[in-house]
Amino acid sequence: MAQPIWLYFGYCNSSCASAYVFQIVLILSAKTINWGIIGAGRIAAKFAEDLNSVSNCQLLAIASRDLEKAKQFALTHKAQKAYGSYEALVDDSGIDAIYIATPHSFHKPHSLLALAQHKAVLCEKPFAMNLEEVDAMIEGSKANNTLLMEAMWTMFLPHFQYVLNLVKNGHFGKVLKLEADFGFNPEYDETSRVFKKSLGGGSLLDIGIYPVFAALSTLGVPKSITAEATYFPNGTDATCTMEFNYDDAQAILKSTFLEETKTEAIFHCERGLIKMNGRFHQPTTVTLISGNGDYKTKDFNCTRFGYNYEIEHFNTLLRQGKTESPIMPFETSRQLIHILDKVRAKIGLDYT
C-alpha cells in the first residue's frame, strides 16, 4: 500500500494528500479483523464472548481436536466455521489473527504453526514453558514479520493501568513492599490440565504468574529470589511462596491450589497503601489508603470479563502493521518467563 500512496502524493497538493491520508486512516481503523481460536476450553469461551463485544472484528473460526466440540463452540459463540484440526484453521486464508488457548506446553508449537502462515498470534499466558521456548516464538515472529503478543490480559485492564500510573508517579511515595497472592481450591483430578505436570499444570504457571507479573510490572526484575513449594502426589506444585528482593523494596508473593485466598495486590508505600482488591488480576476496584487513614475506592465499571481491552489493543496493532506491542513487548515476556524459570529452579520443579 505504501507505493500507491506515495505515487498519489506526487500528483496532488498538500490539502489533497491530507484528505487522502485521513481517508486511509478511516479505512484502516474500520477494517474488520477476522479471528480464529485454537482450543475450545473455558478461557477460549470467555475470550470469544468478549471478542463478540468488540467493534470491527469477528470470530470467523474455532478449532479443536474434537470436531463436535468445535461445532458446539461455534454455535454457542457465533463462529462461522468449525475445524477438527489446528492445521486446517491456520490454513484458512480468511483469518487475520489467532488466539492460542491450548494448554501451556502447546503454546510454542501452536504459535509457530500460525506464524508460519503469517497469522498474527495472541498467545495465552504463560507465553511458553521456559525462556528457550519464548525466544523461539519471538524468532518465529521476526522471521515471518508477523505480529505476536503474550495474552497477559491483566496488563490492559483499566484498574491495573491506573495503579501502574500511581506507582510510577509516586502517588504515596516509593513502594516499600508488595504483597500479592492468588489461591483457590479446585478438586484434585490428575486427568485435569490444571494438575498435569507435563502440560505445565500446577499453581506457579497457572496462577502464580499473576503475582509475579504484578511485581515485575511495578518493581522490575528482582535482585534476588527465594522460594518454597509443596507438591501434589503426582509432582505438580500445589503451593509456591516467593520473596523477591530489590534495592529498596521486597515482594511477598504466593500461589496455591489448596485454599481460597483474597487474591489481592497490596502496595505498601512511604505515605500510604494502594490495594488492588480481589481478584486483582481481573476487572476489580482499587482502594487508596493514605497515611492518616483516609481512604477511597475507585470502581472502573467494567461490564465484560476484561479480555476486550487486550483484543482492542491487538486489533489496533494489526491494522497498523505492527509486529510487537509497546505495552506488552517481547522483552517483558522474556523477563516474566525468566523469573518463573528462576523460581522453578529454586523449588526444584521440572516439567519433564
- CATH code, 147: 3.40.50.720
In a domain? residue 275 = yes
In a domain? residue 15 = no
Same-domain status, 47 and 166: no
* Cα(34)–Cα(116) distance, integer angstroms: 18
**pLDDT, position 65:** 96
Cα 10 to chain centroid distance, Å, stands at 43
Of 41, 339, 306, 66, the residue nearest 209 (C-alpha): 339
In a domain? residue 187 = yes
Q: Going residue by residue through the chain (352 aa), what tens digit of pLDDT does each one get?
A: 232 222 222 333 444 444 434 444 444 557 899 999 999 999 999 999 999 999 999 999 999 999 999 999 999 999 999 999 999 999 999 999 999 999 999 999 999 999 999 999 999 999 999 999 999 999 999 999 999 999 999 999 999 999 999 999 999 999 999 999 999 999 999 999 999 999 999 999 999 999 999 999 999 999 999 999 999 999 999 999 999 999 999 999 999 999 999 999 999 999 999 999 999 999 999 999 998 889 999 999 999 999 999 999 999 999 999 999 999 999 999 999 999 999 999 999 999 8
Same-domain status, 115 and 183: no
* Cα(223)–Cα(122) distance, integer angstroms: 30
CATH label of the domain that carries residue 202: 3.30.360.10
* Cα(277)–Cα(299) distance, integer angstroms: 10
Chosen domain end from 114, 136, 152: 152
Q: Count the domains in the chain.
A: 2
Same-domain status, 146 and 177: no
In a domain? residue 313 = no
Interhelix angle 42-51/307-319, rounded to 10 degrees, is 60
* Cα(337)–Cα(60) distance, integer angstroms: 31
Residues pairing with 252 in the sheet? 179, 243
In a domain? residue 96 = yes
Chosen domain end from 129, 152, 175: 152
Burial of 278 (0-12, 13-18, 19+ CB in 10 A): middle
CB 227 within 8 A of CB 347: yes
DSSP for residue 348:
T
At which residue does the C-alpha cell 514479520 appear?
145
Chosen domain end from 133, 152, 171: 152
CB 172 within 8 A of CB 271: yes
Of 182, 200, 154, 340, the residue nearest 255 (C-alpha): 182
Of 51, 34, 61, the residue nearest 319 (C-alpha): 34
Residues composing the chain: 352
Range of the structural domain that residue 260 is part of: 158-301+325-347
The three three-digit cell numbers of residue 323, written as one number: 509486529
Same-domain status, 108 and 181: no
In a domain? residue 23 = no
Same-domain status, 138 and 176: no
For the beta sheet containing 57-63, the strands, ordered from the edge strand earlier in sequence to the opposite edge, are 81-83, 57-63, 33-38, 97-100, 120-124, 148-151
Same-domain status, 106 and 200: no
In a domain? residue 314 = no
CB 69 within 8 A of CB 79: no
Listing DSSP states for 131-186 in one string gives: HHHHHHHHHHHHHHT--EEEE-GGGGSHHHHHHHHHHHTTBTBSEEEEEEEEE--P
* Cα(285)–Cα(275) distance, integer angstroms: 9
Same-domain status, 61 and 183: no
At which residue does the C-alpha cell 505504501 appear?
2
In a domain? residue 189 = yes
Same-domain status, 135 and 221: no
